[in-house]
Amino acid sequence: MTETILKRWDNELVIAGIAVLLLLPLFGMPPKTYLTLTIAGLAMGMLLFLVASGVSIILGLMDVLNFAHGALFAWGAYVGFSTFKLLEKWVQADSVLLNFGAFAAAIICAMTVVAVLGMVLERVIVRRVYGNHLFQILITFGATIVLVEMIRVIWGPNDDVMSVPLTFQGNWDVFDVIIDRYRIICILIGALVFGAVQLILKKTKLGLIVRAGVENRDMVQAMGHNIFLLFTGVFAVGAGLAALGGLAMSIFSLQVYPDMGSTYLLFAFIVVIIGGLGSVTGSLVGALIVGLSYNYVAYLVPWAAAGVNIIIMIIILLIRPKGLFTAGK
Amino acid sequence: MNDAVLKADNLQTYIGHHHILQGISFEARADAVTVLIGRNGAGKSTTLKTLMGLLPPSEGVIVYNGMNIQGKRPYEIARMGIGYVPEDMGIFADLTVEENFKVAKLKEDEATAGRLDRILELFGALGKFWHAPAGNLSGGQKQMLAIGRAMVNNISLLLIDEPSKGLAPIIVEALIEAINQIKEECVVVLVEQNFYMASAVGDYFHILDDGRIVHSGRMEALVDDEELKSRYLGISKSKS
Amino acid sequence: MNATNNNPIIAVKDLTIRFGGHAAVDQVSLEVMPFTLKSIIGPNGAGKTTFFNLLSGQYKPTGGKVFLKGKDITNLSAPMRCRLGLGRSFQLTNIFPLLTVLENVRLAIQARKGYGFNFWRHYLHFSACEDEAYQILKEVLLDEKWLYPANLLTHGEQRKLEMAILMALKPEILFLDEPTAGMSQEEVPAILEILERIKSMGDKTILLVEHKMDMIMNLSDSIAVLQDGRLIADSDPETIYRSKEVQEAYLGGGAKRE
Amino acid sequence: MLRREQRKKRYYSIGFVLPCLVLALFVLIPFLGPSYKTLDLALKIIIFASLVASFDIMLGYTGILSFGHGMFFGIGAYCVAFLNGKYGDPTYFHLFLGLLLAVAVACVLALIVSLISLRVKAIFFAMITLALAELTIVLANKLSHFTGGEDGISISLPGIFSAAFSPGSFLGLDISGRVITYYFILLACLGLFALMLRFTHSPLGRVLQAIRDNTDRAEALGYKTFYFQTLSIVLGCTVAAMTGGLYAMWVGYVNPESTLEVMAIMLNVLLMVIIGGMGTLYGGIVGAAFLLITQTFLPDLQKLAIDLFPNASLLHTILERWLLLFGILFILVVIFFPKGVVGSAREFIARARGEAFFSS
Amino acid sequence: AEPIKIGIIQGLSGPLEIYGKAEVTGFKMGLEYFTKGTNQINGRDVTLVIEDTQLQAARAKMLLTKLYSDDKVDLAIGPTSSGVALAVLPVARDFKKILIVEPAVADSITGKDWNRYVFRTGRNSSQDAISNAAAVAKPGVSIACIGQDYAFGRDGIAAYKEAAEKLGAKIVHEEYCDPKGTDFVAPIQRIIEAMKDLPEPKFVWVIWAGKGGPIPQLISAGLDKYGIEITSGGNVLAALKMMKPLDGMQGATYYYYENPKNPVNDWLVEEHFKRFGDPPDFFTCGGFAAAGAVVKAITAAGSTDTEKLIAAMEGMEFMTPKGTMKFRKEDHQALQTMFAFKLKVDPDVEWAIPVLTRELTMDETAPPIANKK
Ligand SMILES: Nc1ncnc2c1ncn2[C@@H]1O[C@H](COP(=O)(O)OP(=O)(O)OP(=O)(O)O)[C@@H](O)[C@H]1O
Ligand SMILES: Nc1ncnc2c1ncn2[C@@H]1O[C@H](COP(=O)(O)OP(=O)(O)OP(=O)(O)O)[C@@H](O)[C@H]1O
Ligand SMILES: [Mg+2]
Ligand SMILES: [Mg+2]
């Protein structure tokens, strides 16, 4: 019991340490700039969390390395893109309500379509490679090729511009600190997703069963749980989150292109690894660290920005070989 | 009540290319403990897995409570009130003891809570390590957890694979007691190498050899049959 | 017996390990005389396996010391201790699942002979190794399955393989953690016989954890009893068997059997 | 005795004859295939087979999944490029020095990588090596004064290896610098292969397999697993660097995108390992051959289809997306050849001979 | 007579496939136009051998070798990306055959890695940078540059700086960001801090190759509050779509189908609309230009002999949809007109329209000669 308490403490220490580190840059820049960078970094972190949450759930609960996450992510973006196209009127309208209507519709469409795609993926291929990381990497990478090519067939090989509702564009000028509207929305969505996922994992035994199923599928079945159905479900949820991430990211960067997923896949994995497998909180913290530190470093030492995520990951793993948070272990 | 609650008929099971069970037929009666015995590799564990649906037989019928459960998925079988303790215990090492039970529990009602209390009484050690990861338990404690988990639901048939291995004698005694108690409500099929335990709880026995049942009967008969014991079980009188 | 030496071969002093707040082995001091068989018994969770882990170097103690032939080995790693002649078997089967049975044993012999780092010659050139491995498999009745990958063995057979690996290491001191658990009644005598033979050769020291009382009573020179991590008794078999404390804590009605 | 004879026989029959045939094929290819495409394909198969085998030492034999392997390949290539392109002249000495440098740098770097990365296990190890590899890409781009940045480095080869060299013809084959380079690389890869075979079939190789199977148990047998793992990584990475150097010789150009793009190279290599069969070494040849041949000829399928069925426009659209077919093939291979071609073949042969089981 | 064989290597699959495919379309249309539909030069048929580099340097190198040695093409055209181009340049040298680089842009192709068999119809990045500078730079203007932190970005900014300063503008800040970055808040902050107190007019010039880039974030960062304007090169139509919020932005571009006024372009635009239903883009024009060069060169040389071709091509002027181009004798770079523009947004057009403000002549945009070591 003392052990668990110690562990709790451990996590709090981690958070405290990170907080101190993130305050340090304050000494190197004007406070206003710090504020701008911090808000932007938080939003970027939340976006990254959205991108990574699907990976985190699938890897943490099912122990599956889903390299197709990037492709699902792109699919989410494209379905959202098409939805916006269909609802062009709502998107262009100068009404917050209609704008949000279009946004909600895009989210729903993207998440459902991609969740179904995820289900198919799980049923047809991923199911065959449970417990074998290597094969998971390969088979999901094969799936990536197929999915991305399908995008090229359906939507064409060109890049396209995401037409974004007016409400989400522009910025607020708060006491001279310029705040991008969409970034605030990202922070809200990220928090919402985090809360929902936490709630499901903490308040139901779904997470437990799935984790148990990873260790010993036969045994969980012999306890009366239809583990395959659960796996499919979890995979679908992970895919749905990938879609949400893709949509959110494509609105942020205002564009969609078929292999956009590959750009963000590494980010997603870095975030999840930093955070520790199986810990959604860890992924959130990891994402925020990446988002914030990138901005600080890019401001203070621009030439180091390109490698900063990677170096953070290496350092964290050397200090804590299993990532910052290790859920329930 | 002497009906066969569980009836297996001519089970043939393959693992890969290997024909492991070559026609297993037996019955398990209510109010009784049926013991499967036999040397290593005889096919005892395979029989239990086949019953549980984990290794679908290529041929044969399994009737449980008058229903053919052959071909059903393991979780469907489990939900019919069948508990299973595998020989490797099937502990979820990353989960705590509590979580292990949580996963096992199919219902959260008073009866379940009552059963859990009984289990914790029987295996005191589990309560002590309630929040510890199950992977850190000692060998015997894991065995206790495996058995406890299987008994926490309202089951009517319990399949146990070598429950006594690794348990201290005093716990074995308690386990014997416990099995003798639950057989009132629940049919037990037991695989056991420990002849002492087998004879203490068993009512009927089946001796397996090379994937076939070579001998069956009432336990009392086996206890007295020195010839049979030494032939199939390697128990000779002088060794006692 | 030909015990020429009256100093203990293994001595532990105040050995303690804590996991979080829980002391799994608590201030245990104990001596093992050379060329004897000492059994360690105790209820489940008493700390027997942990005690073995401490001796063989899998765990580092939180306190206390371990001596081998008078030398302090507390800080040596597991492979180093293995080379000094401490070999152990595992309570839960611990083998190389994808390698063949023969290879499992051969690797142990190779480790003992110390040419693991040789990479100039084909491994088949070390034929003595293979022959010896085969011989050992014969002894534990596994020779027919020498070409099986170990994970296809049944539970009981894996236990035997575990035993064979230990024998292949030819350690001076053997730690056996429930070697017969899961073995069929028919095969226990074979293992017993092996143990007896090893013992009668008189050049090995054996520490044995078992729950089979008859076996322990037959084999042991002395018995130590652990409970809740503490050593509660350490004496000759008869005394232990009679001790009320042990009866209550460990044996229960099981003492009366067979 | 009997069983050893059995094993030896097996070792000498299939394990010997087949590779010899393959080798003969590779030796003859310049004579058989008049086209450069074939020669290039054969050479890439040779190089990638060696690279895959070196990866197999780590993955298939030791159970270490490293995404940094491509980095070593790239580093080897860069070493040769430095000495024969940017900082040196095309002389034999520089070429030799370049290959030597590749080996030396790889050794040291592999040692460092294992020292820092072996602390972390499994997927974390994979990620940390991937991170290190990504870092080298960033550096290669950043230090453009030193590495040539994304413009890369062109290599010129000395004397008999240079494209301009052509002393005449032999048995109807134009001996050119290309062909000589081909044979040189073939020979070098043969040497590497022999080294790796010896390594894996030695007692040491066996220990590696044990570590892959159950690291803790190996430790308990008295093997210091860390040293063995390090050794395996060093060997694997050094060979990878060598193949990288040879590759640079052949292609004559290195840049971060094509020689360091770790994920792309790694996924190819991984797939080759799987197709061929993990823990078989020879599998590398099959895997490399399969993958490279498909990648080379799948795009041509469309042209073929246009020639054969000029009107089947649906077919054309499908074949235009040859990557789609490739992806599906990719998935099917992983599903249906989990043990790889060589692994499955070995199992099949063992079963055909009536042996109950077989292991590598 | 024996047909003339021309090899084309482009990235026809993978991320840049539309570029590669447009190049091929453009080349075929150009061939058709310049041979007046006969598909014959000097009475010899022209056959094309088209290969897909998949954007892999090694593969491209193999393909080009194959084209020269197995297919015996007379000359080759391509490839799409600069890395691939740099890899294949030595092949042309080894085989002593002409390679017309199109559309790879790296300066070093006609710079330090050049050899005499290499010609380039495409523009190089210096030409881009110089024309961009010409679009806005004049005395009194302050400019900050933002680009990717690798050779392409650094060289581009260096060329831009030189050209802009020559025209009297002042480069006040250079910002090199992570080439794969997605968040540009920090660099933008640094630019704002460097420029906010300067007098207007002030510009930030964006040079970005590939996906993404800081433009959307520059827009939403409220630069207008500080009176900073964005200037950037034109781009393919797909990218122009993203510039819609940049109404009024100035810059210079390689090609936009409405800008050049000449019969070649008129034909191209009309035919392209007729055949594909959409306007030609950068790379269609590029392929077309290459065809122009090939036809003119072979006609002039009267044969496909490499030496004769080189002699004919050095200093040769030829027609393209962009107007006349000229292969500079020293480094074989085609000097060409570029187009300064100002963006106009029309709700009925999907993209922002780069309305021509001034044609920048080929001499005005001529890059420095960089192939002499
Ligand atoms: N995965 C497998 N592949 C091939 N054969 C197997 C496999 N699992 C078990 N076997 C074989 O099936 C036979 C029966 O195995 P089973 O586990 O049922 O025996 P058991 O009677 O439970 O033995 P034990 O008492 O040792 O547990 C054995 O001969 C074993 O070799
Ligand atoms: N790694 C660990 N972390 C935490 N607690 C542990 C760990 N290993 C063992 N324990 C605890 O230490 C105690 C002693 O365990 P040990 O395995 O030594 O028991 P044992 O005497 O071998 O029991 P058994 O007869 O059941 O095998 C147990 O209560 C167990 O829960
Ligand atoms: Mg069994
Ligand atoms: Mg124990």
Helix (H, G, I), strand (E, B) or coil at D357: coil
Interface check for A301 against chain D (CB to CB < 8 A): the answer is: no
In total, the C-beta contacts within 8 angstroms joining chain A to chain C are: 8
Residue D33's pLDDT band (cuts 50, 70, 90): low
- Ligand 1 near B148 CB (within 6 A): no
Name which of E91, E134, E82 is nearest E111 in CA terms. Answer: E82
Contact in structure between E201 and A321 (CB atoms under 8 Å): no
């297919």: which residue's tokens? E71
Q: Which two tokens stand for residue A242?
A: 């990938």
CA B41 – ligand 3 centroid, Å:
7
pLDDT tops 60 at residue D10: no
| Predicted pLDDT of residue D102 | 92
In a domain, D359, yes or no: no
Give the rounded percent of residues in chain D with a pLDDT score beyond 90.
Answer: 18
Residue to substitute in B12, B14, B17, B18 for testing ligand 1 pocket (most ligand atoms within 8 angstroms of CB): B18
pLDDT in tens, E191-221: 988 888 888 888 999 988 777 788 888 888 8
| Predicted pLDDT of residue D7 | 58
Q: Which residues contact D93 (CB under 8 A, 6 or more apart)?
A: none
Q: What distance in Å separates the CA atoms of residue D249 and residue D272, rounded to the nearest whole number?
A: 22
- Give how far A7 is from chain C: nearest CA, Å: 10
Residue B21 — φ and ψ, nearest 5°? -95, 125
Average pLDDT over residues E83-101: 90
| Predicted pLDDT of residue B235 | 59
Ligand 2 pocket at CB < 6 A: B 129, 136-141, 166; C 19, 24, 42, 44-50, 91
B4-233 to CATH, choices 3.40.50.2300, 3.20.140.10, 3.40.50.720, 3.40.50.300: 3.40.50.300
Average pLDDT over residues E301-323: 92
| Predicted pLDDT of residue A114 | 94
Q: What distance in Å separates the CA atoms of residue A39 and residue A292, rounded to the nearest whole number?
A: 9
Kindly give the number of the ligand 1 atom that is closest to the alpha carbon of B47.
18
Q: Which chain A residues are within 8 Å of B149, Cβ to Cβ? A: 223
Kindly give the number of the ligand 1 atom that is closest to the alpha carbon of B38.
21
Q: Which ligand is nearest to the CA of B143?
A: 2
Interface check for A125 against chain D (CB to CB < 8 A): the answer is: yes
Q: What distance in Å separates the CA atoms of residue A117 and residue A106, rounded to the nearest whole number?
A: 16
Residue C74 — φ and ψ, nearest 5°? -55, -35
Contact in structure between C202 and C2 (CB atoms under 8 Å): yes
Higher per-residue pLDDT: D266 or B51:
B51
- Ligand 1 near C151 CB (within 6 A): no
Q: Which chain B residues are within 8 Å of A3, Cβ to Cβ? A: 132
Contact in structure between E243 and E217 (CB atoms under 8 Å): no
CA B46 – ligand 1 centroid, Å:
7
Give CA angle at E359 (E357, E365), nearest 5°: 125
Kindly give the number of the ligand 2 atom that is closest to the alpha carbon of C53.
18
In a domain, D358, yes or no: no
| Predicted pLDDT of residue B1 | 43
Q: What is the dihedral of CA A56, A57, A62, A66, to 10 degrees?
A: -60
Name the residue with the closest Cα to ligand 2, atom 30.
B137
Residue E366 — φ and ψ, nearest 5°? -60, 130
- CATH number reported for the structural domain that contains residue D313 in this entry: 1.10.3470
Average pLDDT over residues C68-76: 86
| List of chains touching C (3+ CB pairs within 8 A) | A, B, D
- Give how far A144 is from chain D: nearest CA, Å: 8
- Ligand 1 near C138 CB (within 6 A): no
Most confident residue range from A64-68, C130-134, D161-165:
A64-68
Helical (H) or strand (E) element with E295: helix E282-301
**Cβ contact A160–E186 (<8 Å):** no
| Predicted pLDDT of residue C123 | 63
Neighbouring C-alpha atoms within 13 Å toward the C-beta of E213? 21
Neighbouring C-alpha atoms within 13 Å toward the C-beta of D78? 29
Give me the domain span that covers residue D126. Answer: 2-353
Q: Could you check whether the bond before residue D203 is cis, i.e. omega within 30 degrees of 0?
A: no
Contact in structure between D292 and D49 (CB atoms under 8 Å): no
Average pLDDT over residues D58-77: 89
Contact in structure between B149 and B100 (CB atoms under 8 Å): yes
The count of domains in chain D is 1
Indicate the DSSP class of residue B230: I
| List of chains touching D (3+ CB pairs within 8 A) | A, C, E
Q: What distance in Å separates the CA atoms of residue D134 and residue D117, rounded to the nearest whole number?
A: 15
- Give how far D251 is from chain E: nearest CA, Å: 6
pLDDT tops 60 at residue A83: yes
Q: What distance in Å separates the CA atoms of residue D223 and residue D236, rounded to the nearest whole number?
A: 20
List, in sequence order, every beta strand (DSSP E) within B16-143.
Answer: 18-29, 33-38, 59-64, 67-68, 82-85
pLDDT in tens, E127-162: 989 999 988 888 989 999 998 887 778 888 988 998
| Predicted pLDDT of residue D14 | 65
DSSP A147-198: HHHHHHHHH-SS-EEPP--GGGSSEEEETTEEEEHHHHHHHHHHHHHHHHHH
Q: Considering chain E, what is the average pLDDT of its residues?
A: 89
Q: Which of A78-87, E55-64, E119-128 has the lowest mean pLDDT?
A: E55-64
Q: Which two tokens stand for residue D199?
A: 């390594």
What's the N-to-C CA distance of chain D in angstroms? 20
Q: Which two tokens stand for residue A15?
A: 């958070």
Give CA angle at A58 (D327, A250), nearest 5°: 70
Q: Which chain D residues are within 8 Å of E94, Cβ to Cβ? A: 163-164
Helix (H, G, I), strand (E, B) or coil at A257: coil
pLDDT tops 50 at residue D218: yes
Burial-class residue B4 by CB neighbours within 10 Å (0-12, 13-18, 19+): middle
Residue D280's pLDDT band (cuts 50, 70, 90): confident
pLDDT averaged over consecutive 10-residue blocks of chain B (240 residues)?
A: 75 84 86 85 88 88 86 88 88 89 86 87 84 85 88 87 84 83 84 83 88 86 78 56
Q: Where are the domains of chain B?
A: 4-233
Average pLDDT over residues D292-319: 77
Residue D61's pLDDT band (cuts 50, 70, 90): confident
Name which of B216, B226, B211 is nearest B35 in CA terms. Answer: B216
Q: What distance in Å separates the CA atoms of residue A65 and residue A83, rounded to the nearest whole number?
A: 30
Name the residue with the closest Cα to ligand 1, atom 22.
B45
Name the residue with the closest Cα to ligand 2, atom 3.
B136
Average pLDDT over residues E214-229: 84
Kindly give the number of the ligand 2 atom that is closest to the alpha carbon of C46.
21
Residue B10 — φ and ψ, nearest 5°? 50, 55
pLDDT in tens, C86-105: 877 777 778 888 888 888 88
Higher per-residue pLDDT: A291 or E224:
A291
Q: What distance in Å separates the CA atoms of residue E124 and residue C130, rounded to the nearest whole number?
A: 69
Give the rounded percent of residues in chain A with a pLDDT score beyond 70.
Answer: 95
pLDDT tops 70 at residue E343: yes
Higher per-residue pLDDT: E225 or D77:
D77
Domains and CATH numbers, chain C: 88-170 (3.40.50.300)
Kindly tell me whether chain D and chain E come into contact, counting contact as 3+ Cβ pairs under 8 Å.
Answer: yes
Q: What distance in Å separates the CA atoms of residue D239 and residue D76, rounded to the nearest whole number?
A: 9
| Predicted pLDDT of residue C254 | 45
pLDDT tops 90 at residue E284: yes
What's the ipTM?
Answer: 0.82
Higher per-residue pLDDT: D54 or C255:
D54
| Predicted pLDDT of residue D1 | 47
- Give how far E49 is from chain D: nearest CA, Å: 11
| Predicted pLDDT of residue E118 | 94
What's the N-to-C CA distance of chain B in angstroms? 36
| Predicted pLDDT of residue D235 | 92
Q: Which ligand is nearest to the CA of B37?
A: 1
Q: What distance in Å separates the CA atoms of residue C146 and residue C157, rounded to the nearest whole number?
A: 11
DSSP D35-74: SHHHHHHHHHHHHHHHHHHHHHIIIIIT----TTHHHHHH
In total, the C-beta contacts within 8 angstroms joining chain D to chain E are: 82
* Residues facing residue B12 across a β-bridge: B22, B59
Q: What distance in Å separates the CA atoms of residue E1 and residue E102, rounded to the nearest whole number?
A: 28
Average pLDDT over residues D109-127: 84
CA C144 – ligand 4 centroid, Å:
30
| Predicted pLDDT of residue A329 | 40
Candidates D151, D163, D295; nearest CB to E86: D151
Q: Which ligand is nearest to the CA of C230?
A: 2
Query: For residue E262, how far is the Cα from the chain centroid?
Result: 19
| Predicted pLDDT of residue D46 | 93
Higher per-residue pLDDT: C125 or D173:
D173
Contact in structure between E316 and E297 (CB atoms under 8 Å): yes
Residue D242's pLDDT band (cuts 50, 70, 90): very high
Q: Which chain C residues are within 8 Å of A1, Cβ to Cβ? A: 20-21
pLDDT tops 80 at residue C38: yes
pLDDT in tens, C113-153: 776 666 666 666 667 788 888 888 888 778 887 878 888 88
Pairing of strands B82-85, B157-161: parallel
| List of chains touching B (3+ CB pairs within 8 A) | A, C
Neighbouring C-alpha atoms within 13 Å toward the C-beta of B131? 10
**Cβ contact C116–D204 (<8 Å):** yes
**Cβ contact B140–C45 (<8 Å):** yes
Name which of B223, B165, B41, B232 is nearest C186 in CA terms. Answer: B232
Give the rounded percent of residues in chain E with a pLDDT score beyond 90.
Answer: 40
Higher per-residue pLDDT: C87 or D183:
D183
Name the residue with the closest Cα to ligand 2, atom 7.
B136
- Ligand 1 near B40 CB (within 6 A): yes
| Predicted pLDDT of residue D262 | 67
Name which of C219, C222, C258, C228 is nearest C240 in CA terms. Answer: C222
* Residues facing residue E229 across a β-bridge: E203
Average pLDDT over residues A312-320: 85
| Predicted pLDDT of residue C93 | 73
Q: Could you check whether the bond before residue C79 is cis, i.e. omega within 30 degrees of 0?
A: no
